[in-house]
Amino acid sequence: MNPLLSPSPPQLRCGARLLDLSEPQVMAIINITPDSFSDGGKFHADGVLLDKVLRRVEEVCEQGATLIDIGGESTRPGSLTVTAGEECDRVLPVVDAIAKRFDTIISVDTSTPEVVRGAAKLGAGLINDVRALLRPGAMDAAAESSLPICLMHMQGEPSSMQQDPRYQNIFDDVAGFLKDRVAACLAAGISEDRLLLDPGFGFGKTTAHNFELFRRIPDFVGMGFPVLVGVSRKSMLGAITGRAVGDRLAASAAMAAMAVERGAHIIRAHDVKETVDAVKLATAVKFEKSNND
């Protein structure tokens, strides 16, 4: 295991599969919603588009993604919640189809207990929850699933989170929240080796907040859990480069490499091929430094 990465376990049990964390991994984003901020409607799975989703899964697996993150509820700023039934109808057929066709780890981007339970039964390997299991019933559903859970920090709800977010101290507040959620998981019977952390870039944070948290990635890694970083195409990149959402590939790849240098374990990305290359290069630099120490 690369000693420059965190002391967290080198492997994560994701259902029937093991995820190697001794080197950074890339998680491909596939949003099956009509209104996601970057690719809304592109993979909205209403039956006709299921084949399109599966072709994209095949493509990103060939490009080097080791996890596929399926989301059925948009969490872009200003978005509204969907019903549990609607989210199940969007997500579960996709999880089922992917699990039957591909040897890959399926992550389900959800806060909804019904989706957690259904996806776990169909072969999902990871629960990625922007609300850190705070939605009623989510903690119990996650505990019953036996799957690992990524706990993310978000201030407020997507519908209002970007309306003047404020903190006493951005790192202390976010880290304190994540520590509290870890404690709640442990109390619910979810073991430490099932937990990952995500600072929640863009979720109730200003540009200054986001970059301060990014600089502090090593401190999140130091908390002893695998760290997931998702900054792909986000507004924090647009604020610096002045580029529109669809023109942030270079910035996203650069941030992916910097996140790896800072110790991140999983990089969540839209542009998988380019992100995999950036991660490989950053990892090679880290290993070379380690080998020369």
Per-residue pLDDT averaged across 226-238, rounded? 97
The rounded Cα 235 to chain-centroid distance in angstroms is: 17
User: Could you tell me which residues are beta bridge partners of residue 197?
Assistant: 151, 227
Tokens 């996650």, located at residue: 142
The predicted structure's pLDDT at residue 237:
97
- Per CATH, the architecture of 11-292 is what? Alpha-Beta Barrel (3.20)
Return the percentage of the chain with pLDDT > 70, whole number. 86
Is 52 a residue of the active site? no
Each domain of the chain, given as residue ranges in start order, spans 11-292
List the catalytic residue out of 181, 234, 248, 286: 234
CB 55 within 8 A of CB 101: no
List the catalytic residue out of 131, 181, 268, 286: 268
- The Cα 198–Cα 169 span in angstroms is 17
Confidence of residue 80 (pLDDT cuts 50, 70, 90): low
CB 4 within 8 A of CB 286: yes
User: Could you tell me which residues are beta bridge partners of residue 266?
Assistant: 25, 228
Which amino acid appears at position 98 of this protein?
I
- The Cα 178–Cα 153 span in angstroms is 7
Q: Choose the weakest-confidence range: 53-57, 76-80, 109-113, 195-199.
A: 76-80
Which amino acid appears at position 282 of this protein?
A
User: Could you tell me which residues are beta bridge partners of residue 151?
Assistant: 129, 197
Tokens 């690369």, located at residue: 2
Is 131 a residue of the active site? no
Q: Choose the weakest-confidence range: 119-128, 140-149, 179-188, 284-293.
A: 284-293
List phi, psi (to 5°) of 229.
-120, 125
pLDDT, one tens digit per residue, over 107-145 is 999 999 999 999 999 999 999 999 999 999 999 999 999
Which of residues 162 and 273 earns the better pLDDT score? 273
Is residue 232's pLDDT more than 50? yes
Q: In what order do the strands lie in the sheet with 126-129?
A: 195-198, 149-152, 126-129, 105-109, 67-71, 25-31, 266-269, 228-229
